[in-house]
């Protein structure tokens, strides 16, 4: 479990590719490797991955086909910068919103508007099915960052980024056309799916009478 408050950025050192499988070696900031253990869960661009090796501040993860298919992890290259968050501990402050690190899909950056004190980015969802979980002023995770949706139009939504978020995450490196990971609020997803299932069955039973 994570909060969506990015604790630092890390650089991809190497990528070992096999059939439908990769091993990533990522160089962590020194302040994030204290008491880190093999088997721990780490949010990498919002995607929950398990540590398989630690050498100094170089941390390795195995990535399976399903993760490569759904997320932007498979698009990373040596030198890519990823957002990092260690898992939530009991008693920690939840400054963002609770996120699981289970990415539901990706979005493409359509436009970036830079203002003096903030950045406005428009995202186009790849899978239209996901849009039913995205609401105005609702929570959303973008590359592991807890954010609030400011506007929606069809399969496009936009988000404002404050200077602190721009400075402390990989958002400052993003360009038009880049692909980001999307995680929707889990409880919103449950409510929408249950209502959809209920309404479908109500209408189905009504017309079958």
> How confident is the model at residue 64, as a pLDDT?
97
Phi/psi at 171 (5° precision): -60, -30
Kindly state the DSSP code that residue 87 receives in the 8-state scheme. Answer: P
Question: DSSP E strands: which ranges in 75-191?
Answer: 81-86, 105-114, 119-125, 139-142, 145-153, 156-161, 179-184
pLDDT (tens digit, 9 = 90+) per residue, 71-104? 999 999 999 999 999 998 777 777 778 889 999 9
Distance CA 85, CA 101 (A): 10
Q: Give this prediction's pTM.
A: 0.91
Distance CA 14, CA 45 (A): 16
> How confident is the model at residue 200, as a pLDDT?
75
Distance CA 140, CA 146 (A): 6
> How confident is the model at residue 207, as a pLDDT?
61
> How confident is the model at residue 157, as a pLDDT?
97
C-beta separation of 105 from 70 below 8 A: yes
Give the residues of the chain that fall short of pLDDT 50.
Answer: none
Give the count of beta carbons closer than 10 Å to the beta carbon of residue 55.
8
Domains and CATH numbers, the chain: 8-86 (2.40.30.20), 105-193 (2.40.30.20)
> How confident is the model at residue 50, as a pLDDT?
97
> How confident is the model at residue 203, as a pLDDT?
65
The set of residues, in sequence order, having a beta carbon less than 8 Å from that of 174 and lying 6+ positions away, is 109, 112, 121, 180
């Amino acid at each position: 479990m994570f909060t969506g408050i990015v604790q630092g950025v890390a650089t991809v050192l190497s990528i070992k590719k096999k059939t439908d499988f990769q091993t990533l070696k990522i160089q962590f900031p020194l302040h994030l490797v204290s008491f880190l253990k093999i088997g721990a869960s780490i949010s990498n661009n919002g995607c929950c991955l398990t540590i398989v090796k630690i050498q100094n501040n170089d941390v390795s993860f195995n990535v399976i086909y399903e993760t490569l298919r759904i997320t932007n992890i498979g698009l990373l290259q040596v030198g890519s910068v990823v957002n990092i968050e260690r898992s939530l501990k009991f008693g920690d402050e939840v400054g963002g919103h609770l996120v699981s690190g289970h990415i539901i899909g990706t979005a493409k950056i359509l436009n970036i508007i830079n203002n003096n004190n903030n950045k406005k980015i428009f995202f186009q969802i790849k899978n239209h099915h996901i849009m039913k979980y995205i609401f105005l002023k609702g929570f959303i995770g973008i590359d592991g960052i807890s954010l609030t949706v400011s506007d929606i139009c069809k399969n496009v939504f936009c988000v404002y980024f404050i200077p602190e978020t721009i400075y402390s995450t990989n958002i400052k490196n993003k360009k038009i056309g880049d692909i980001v990971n999307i995680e929707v609020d889990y409880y919103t997803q449950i409510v929408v799916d249950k209502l959809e299932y209920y309404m479908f069955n109500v209408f189905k039973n009504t017309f079958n009478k």
